[in-house]
Amino acid sequence: QKEVEQNSGPLSVPEGAIASLNCTYSDRGSQSFFWYRQYSGKSPELIMFIYSNGDKEDGRFTAQLNKASQYVSLLIRDSQPSDSATYLCAVNRLGSNDYKLSFGAGTTVTVRA
Amino acid sequence: DAGITQSPRHKVTETGTPVTLRCHQTENHRYMYWYRQDPGHGLRLIHYSYGVKDTDKGEVSDGYSVSRSKTEDFLLTLESATSSQTSVYFCAISLDRGETQYFGPGTRLLVL
């Protein structure tokens, strides 16, 4: 079982719609959760992080965390063509020596005009 | 890219040659990381550093070594490059343990 799993996509949504991305993780001891966006040929850039159960909103982005279900999601409201990218879920946990950040393989999102 | 540069940005080399990639940060962050990114595998940690001369292995460290002689510089060395090390390499930094990681622009390495 992979530590962090995401649907690879591609997820195609019309402009203006809501894109919903899901991520599950295997380690119940995971403590912090991150969403990165990566445009083709570019480096990952942080969208947002979440530590506590519930929702966290930042502009058009909402992260949702449910630790009991080991599930974190990202909603993109009013999707724009500029949101077309691969979205990486990352989960931080304290390992034997230090914190370890594990990444999912990413979900590719295409916003069609 | 949060004050992080990587050099070179692109490199083509031959199997068996040594290769060194450099990561330089201007943020004075304590932690620095080297990842590789391959299709279907996502980002995988190679090595990381938690201070000058303090380094540790990640999940895919075989064939790689690192050094950190200054806070701002973290070097990744492939002692004898193999075709399986063809990848995109990203450096990342974080202020401290468990903190958010910020990524450099990446280095595309092709080993022929």
Q: What is the pLDDT of residues B20-54, one digit of tens each?
A: 999 999 999 999 999 999 987 889 999 999 999 99
Is pLDDT above 90 for B65?
Answer: yes
Q: Least CB-CB distance to A105: which of B41, B100, B101?
A: B41
Q: What pLDDT score does A96 carry?
A: 65
Percent of chain B exceeding pLDDT 90 equals 91
Q: What three-state secondary structure class fits A83?
A: helix
B89 — pLDDT class (breaks 50, 70, 90): very high
Under 8 Å CB pairs connecting chains A and B tally to 45
- pLDDT per residue over A69-113, tens digit each? 999 999 999 999 999 999 999 999 877 667 788 999 999 999 998
Q: What pLDDT score does A68 carry?
A: 94
Collect all residues with Cβ–Cβ distance below 8 Å to B62 and sequence separation of at least 6: none
Is pLDDT above 70 for A25?
Answer: yes
Q: Mean pLDDT of all residues in chain A? A: 93
Q: Mean pLDDT of all residues in chain B? A: 95
Strand partners of residue B74: B23
The per-residue b/e assignment along A80-105, b for 16 or more CB within 10 angstroms, e otherwise, is eeebbbbbbbbbbbeeeeebbbbbbb
Is pLDDT above 90 for A54?
Answer: yes
B1 — pLDDT class (breaks 50, 70, 90): low
* B100 neighbourhood in chain A, CB within 8 Å: 34, 46, 49
Q: Which residue of B has its CA nearest to A90?
A: B43
Is pLDDT above 90 for B10?
Answer: yes
Please check whether residue A57 is in contact with residue A69, taking contact to mean a CB–CB distance below 8 angstroms.
no
Strand partners of residue B89: B36, B107
